[in-house]
Structure 1
């Protein structure tokens, strides 16, 4: 477990709203969330398996630092929280974003791959949540935001294991929201639709007609376009903020109306 911080960590300039942990926060939706939280007034700790390029922390902002961790390990939650110091102020937010996409038909499901998906998507979220509760309680409360998916409630071929993992996240979210409410800890989940991450951009580019492929996917969305990481990040930042202090136990779709349709 190692941490990587800016060259001049602002130890005497704590963030106005305290600090936040964003797991899997070095790229894609996680990175957008880290940037949005920093812009809202949080200091941000991002986690990942590999130390990112310096520009990743620079893009987030001056109040950011990195912790190297594999969230599929059952000890990762405790180790991550132990590595987070108070340079940005008290810990107030956890965003459980680290996860993996598992694509396989039912006939091709592999037990090892299923366990890897559940270890990262479900166990990782549970252990991180358990680890931050004492710190959030000591700070007088806080916000936990879990990353779910439209595929937890909408059927699609060849994603059954992934869908099952995100269904588990929904159940965990509502149960912990009730359990942790007396401590002033709010627990919500965000369920993105198809979002223009590098993975989705790569999939679109691989299609025989990329323009037609994107248009076909966009046509399934009532608002007429695919989501962006910034769309998701804006909702997460709101849920983390004091403005959302009366929201808990929500599974909030950020999908342009896809699941409503």
Structure 2
């Protein structure tokens, strides 16, 4: 059995109160890493998650943040460093539940909201954290992207397009910051039984016909679990992945192969 190790400090999970984000935080805790989760409005969920993580024997904390505001992100960075002394990894999983509509039907306001949260948000977080990583001899970014980056799913542009911009930012960080022992990679997320998928399913957006058709694109013929995403994030953040940077790993059951 492979036992993973991490640099000193905590994993900082943006979007840690979401269905997938909670699963990612849980896997870091199970692997023995301290965890700081960021949330926007789900305070009770965040606090419940922290209690769960602490029960696994690690130090954990929750921090409220609006990722669209750079002063908010800087404040949270200070809180996390004050609580944990160091951040070894930033996991970017922040993002809104978005409408399933065509590009032609998308309004500028809808597109702007997704860009501000997912794309500007990641840049703001990276801009704030990079000096900390340099000062402490390195660190890593793990971006939760979309399996749609390889095979565009119709109607999901509000999720896929902002994340595609982030893929370039991740490669840019990997290219420019490697000399400082800073790594950056992406986990491309497929259909996971959590978060946005379950919310849209409950709303009737994703019905039985949708599931049958999408299953045709998934060789494993089943949906993923949050722990599947978490396991990939934990590996990419660990010392065992210390020579991996600028890469994508699709955790999607083979979606679109």
**Separation of aligned partners in 1, 2:221 and 2:247:** 25
Does residue 1:98 correspond to 2:91, yes or no? no
**Structure 2 alignment gaps of length 5 or more:** 1-5
CA distance change for structure 1 residues 159 and 206 in 2, over 3 Å: closer, same or farther?
closer
Secondary structure of the corresponding residue to residue 172 of structure 1: helix
Give CA deviations for 1:35-65 in whole Å, capped at 9, x if unaligned: 1111222111101113234422112224110
- Which of 19, 28, 33 is residue 28 of structure 1 equivalent to? 19
The corresponding residue for 1:70 is: 66
RMSD between superposed Cα atoms in Å: 2.3
The corresponding residue for 2:148 is: 151
* 1:86 shift after superposition: 4.3
**Separation of aligned partners in 2, 1:209 and 1:55:** 28
**Structure 1 alignment gaps of length 5 or more:** 1-14
CA distance change for structure 1 residues 200 and 208 in 2, over 3 Å: closer, same or farther?
closer
Give CA deviations for 1:168-213 in whole Å, capped at 9, x if unaligned: 0111111110111000000001111111114323444555996665
- In 1, are the aligned partners of 2:7 and 2:239 still within 8 Å (CA)? no
* 1:163 shift after superposition: 2.1
- Which of 204, 215, 222 is residue 218 of structure 1 equivalent to? 215
- In 1, are the aligned partners of 2:200 and 2:206 still within 8 Å (CA)? no
- In 1, are the aligned partners of 2:20 and 2:195 still within 8 Å (CA)? no
- Which of 238, 252, 255 is residue 235 of structure 2 equivalent to? 238
Report the count of equivalent residues: 246
Give CA deviations for 1:139-182 in whole Å, capped at 9, x if unaligned: 21111111110122322222234322111011111111011100
TM-score by length of 2: 0.87
